[in-house]
Structure 1
Amino acid sequence: MRRPAPSTTRPSRSIRNWPSPTGTGPGSGETWATTTGRSPTWTEPSRWSRTTPGTSPCVVNHRIAGRDAEAIRDLTEAVRLDPALGFAWASRGATHERAGDPDAALTDLGRALDLDPDYAWAYARRARAWRALGDPRRQLADLDRALALNPDWPWARCERGDALRAAGRDEEAVADLDVALSLDPAYTSAYASRGASLTKLGRHAEALADLNRALELRPGYLWALCRRAVLHAVTGRWEEARADVERVRALNSEALERLSDTDRAVLAPALAG
């Protein structure tokens, strides 16, 4: 689990515009999301929803269970009841992005940011929509803004590290991922991403240590297995490369089909069996 960041940003207008009479409402959840990098979610109606009629659609949040259609339905009702509810716009936008509709995500997250220009979580989630639309410049700009507002947020650090790695800026990616792991030493994705960048930088021993650590934390992590197979191939350890390829094939062979052309070329002898 992600740890709360050591420092916090001030409560956003999304919180101030949605008073919580019992102290258990979505405002406090938004603060938690902004400081930890996780979307606030509720698996059952809170005491706040039961004492504030008409507001439960946003509190009973289906996102944690992956029920995107239900989440969008409930959040749509929430913004109908209160169009100034920045949290609900942002949460619906993030759900649209996960459901494969980045254009709708941009609309909703833009609305959340109109209501609160200092909403770090909304910037970071909008960055994912820009990524889905193939706009790395705007993706990085939104991540820069999120981290300017909350520099001690491991998830956003890892997201920007991934974006920098995809842009070929591996030294900068490693710097961000170093920070992410200093804030959360059990951050599996950050180890895997840093291992991928270190591989490209030729720092093979460090890359192997990171990818091994990622797989200790999550043994079935397909992307980390693929990255380690590539590393083994690059360094001529073909027996280990074949072992990782076979493990991926046993877990989910479709992961091998999603390899880039470059990775497939590197791994060709291992893929051939």
Structure 2
Amino acid sequence: MAPALALGLLLGLLGDPGGATKVLHSLRYLHVVVSEPSPGIPQFMDIGYLDGIPFVRYDSERGRAEPLMQWIKDGVKPEYWIWGPRPMLTVYGCDFLSNGSVRASHQIGYDGRDHISFDLGFRRFVPADSAAEITRRRWEQELNGVEMWTNYLNHICPKWLQRHIRYGQKELERKESPDVHVSGREEHRTLILSCHVYGFYPNTIAVSWMKGGETLDQETEWGGIVPNSDGTFHTWARIEALLEEREQAWDLRLG
């Protein structure tokens, strides 16, 4: 799987569903297989994320699961660490939403493109192209995949999400204020204003550029909210303006 696709799948599934309903907590597992491994890039890697923060990792070079957060090391029983390779290129998991419901998802990419996903509501696999029809038929007819993923997404995943919330409750309840850096540069007779926001937790943040008190969301380009190695997040927002607008009252809003 191409790194960009893997990251895109993960970030897309970590976001809010939109509207007034918000994601309270999320559990995701990212499995990546590469066809040409090299030193430092294992053939297989498996990472678990709680609320967007990596907390456990398995890869084919180490050959064992390892905790990335102290709370998971302290909370689970020894048998939790007996992991084996899982030969799929996939992101799957579930969310607890603010309206009391649970949202679950399962998506697979192959060779840098979307391949197949599982529609939990209709209990069926949805191929992205004709090549994925082979995968769909095999999973539905030979592997009993519909029942397996329906049970996992409806029951097993929410149960483990609740456990992980309990294990990491102290970590999840902490608050870290963002460190904000603003810069500007001229490029091809255009003024480019950039805002980088570092070290915040939790990952619910909105960054907006403003001019003269008006919010310019349609003109703003945003980066994804990405986890740092210390358990915090970073993001950025950029906007282009005319050079003659440089003296106007530009401002930022964080929410």
Q: Classify the TM-score, shorter chain.
A: under 0.3
With a CA cutoff of 8 Å and minimum separation of 6, indicate the structure with the bigger relative contact order: 2
Greater percentage in strand: 2
Greater percentage in helix: 1
